[in-house]
Structure 1
Amino acid sequence: MKKLILCSFIACVMFACSSAKKANPTAAVSDTTKVTDTTQLAGSWELNYVAGSTAVDSLYPTKKPVINFDMAAKRVSGNTGCNSFNGPLMVTGHKIDFTGPMALTKMFCTGQGETVFLDNLKKVNTWSVSDGNTLNFIMGDIAIMRFTKK
């Protein structure tokens, strides 16, 4: 009885292994294209628009937030207009995620600028670059933050 069960198990495993899907070479090309698209993110970007805010200049009177992408090291860093931050860059194609752990300095900040920046950053799920110098952070289908290439 044990031999019958063992033989049945081995036959099932062999059948499962032989019916695995083969890799699609065209899928690999499209994935490579998505990866090369992320090079558009590289460099420094300065915030110029936040959804729901009256004006970026009034929200950040002394220093506008900046975000930097180091594609080689897969790191993101920047300044919230008050404190500095850095962490791992989690980007695949045009999907981006800022919900992971980030290091943040803890200086006292006046106003709501830093809170608005960080809260909106966590809502972003995709990105796009238009005209080579405008970075859009998108939630769903709405651009909630825009940056200008520095």
Structure 2
Amino acid sequence: MRRKDREVTNIIEILQIIEKAKVLHLALVDADYPYIVPLHYGYEYTEGILIFYMHCAKEGHKLDLIRSNPNVCIEIESDVELISGGDVACKYGASFASVIGRGRAELTEDVQEKIRGLSLFMKNQTGREFNINEEMAATVEVIKVVISEFTAKSRSKA
């Protein structure tokens, strides 16, 4: 990371960034160009590993890409706000907090894991617990992304 003064290394602070944000940008490999899609997510952190769960329709381009190459990159940002530079364009900036990570995606087949992923998804998005059953889980595809390598960065308004 070039700007070490903005690096966030405390895992509690990193998890706060992830908790606050609600959209994850999932970058997939699509031949000669990256393919990036914004998705809502749920997550858990265990033993240094971030696991994200997203859901989608049962067919589509991102699913085809995951099947052909499971290597992915994620980006999450929160607290984005313009920092005014007054009358000087080059004095403008932005405050932000972000997490970037690399890992692997898979399509979750196990029904109980799908239910767990969807439960985490709903908890992160709404702050509420929901009862997800097998019938509900069967209607969607659940993408599980395991991130073992990640960095975080923050710039405050001050």
TM-score, normalised to structure 1, is 0.31
Bigger radius of gyration among the two: 1
TM-score, normalised to structure 2, is 0.30
Q: Which has the higher contact order (CA 8 A, sep 6+)?
A: 2
Larger strand fraction of residues: 2
